[in-house]
Amino acid sequence: MSKHYKPYTPEEVIEILKKHDPNITLEKAKLILDAMRKLAKLTLEQEFNI
């Protein structure tokens, strides 16, 4: 059974991060989301030798 995951949007990241930083901006959220995606890709590449 395959699950399909919807990527987070910058707006969703803002809502999540507002719990810890009420001053989060859309630009900051985009940077954080980009960094998280790069780390996830790097982790997969290293773990599975993609």
**Distance (Å, whole) CA 39 – CA 25:** 21
Alpha-carbon gap, residue 36 to 50, rounded angstroms: 18
Query: pLDDT per residue over 8-36, tens digit each?
Result: 898 998 998 889 888 989 999 999 999 99
Confidence class for position 2, pLDDT limits 50, 70, 90: low
pLDDT for 1: 46
Q: What angle do CA 41, 45, 50 make, to 5 degrees?
A: 125
